[in-house]
Structure 1
């Protein structure tokens, strides 16, 4: 089985790929450091050729969407972060659909323990 690991260049992607390989599957890591940018919507079609599953470990976008304040420390623009996460997830899912990928596994700790309210990006058609 060919598995593509989408990562933001951190250690988790390399360790996940190693684990996939230890089960005798082919693992390909796609990250900004390897030339892939899911946030920008760069073409993932080549990486997803003959792929059976995608493990999406991409994290939140860079902290450029925030500012430092004296009262609260570093404050992140929640709307900008949510929009960026929705865009990158939609880009990956769209590329998967075009390539016929059958399985998508996502890891997200961004909203752990928070009330999601009405977050429409999570209503993407699977």
Structure 2
């Protein structure tokens, strides 16, 4: 079976491509650096020829509100049009748990718009909503840091390892379309400030973490349940300690 992965050279895309190839599938890792661009349309029709499944793992190069919305809308519409022309049978997309609960976040508003395009396209689909990746804990810490202090939200986090995400994406691509949303999550839940403090301690970072219910998370204030799923999510197998000891640090 031919599978095209949009964003196939990124963190999740490269891991998913490896898994699918090991199972004998033909995989096209599509990205601007491989000659496929969902914004301009370059190489898109050629890449999708005879494809049964398309996995959309694309991400905007800019997180500015207007730019990220334009990216997901343009990319999504171009991709759906190319899929219809190619006769693609299943569209799989990776989204984020909490997209529709945090309207103050421009990025999450853009993901809501992307999901709407997929639902209304008429192509059988599966949307995987994931909690935050463990690999981004350092970036969360940096975003909340001023000087030697990191001020972070007390909302809950249940981060998932990228290897688990790739497993779930691979599974979804090979299964029948859900024509709905499947939520995936890491196995451990704690407050965001506590998870990041645990990460900083593990890497030997001496920044002090301040728990602040009003601290913004990439432009929005979190409630306790904003970023976690209680809708019977599929749980990954990799906890923080295993992830930390087996993942190379950059």
State if a TM-score over 0.5 links the two structures.
yes
TM-score normalized by the length of structure 2: 0.40
8 Å Cα contact 1:44/1:95 also seen in 2: yes
Instruction: Indicate the structure whose relative CO is greater, using CA pairs within 8 Å and at least 6 residues apart.
Output: 1
CA change 1:110–1:92 in 2 (3 A) is farther
Match of 2:136 in 1: none
Match of 1:69 in 2: none
Within the alignment, does 1:89 sit opposite 2:76 as a pair?
A: yes
8 Å Cα contact 2:39/2:74 also seen in 1: yes
CA distance in 1, matches of 2:72, 2:87: 22
Which residues in structure 2 correspond to 1:76-115 (within 5 Å)? 76-109=63-96, 112=99, 113-115=101-103
1:12 is displaced (CA, Å) by: 1.7
Q: Which has the higher helix share?
A: 2
1:93 is displaced (CA, Å) by: 0.7
Secondary structure in structure 2 of the residue aligned to 1:24: coil
Count residues in correspondence.
Answer: 111
8 Å Cα contact 1:9/1:32 also seen in 2: no
TM-score normalized by the length of structure 1: 0.75
Q: Which runs of 5+ in 1 are unaligned?
A: 64-75
Secondary structure in structure 1 of the residue aligned to 2:44: coil
1:37 is displaced (CA, Å) by: 1.1
Which residues in structure 2 correspond to 1:1-126 (within 5 Å)? 1-7=1-7, 9-59=9-59, 61-63=60-62, 76-109=63-96, 112=99, 113-115=101-103, 122-123=116-117, 124-126=120-122
CA distance in 2, matches of 1:111, 1:45: 33
Superposition CA RMSD, Å: 2.2
**Rg larger in 1 or in 2?**
2
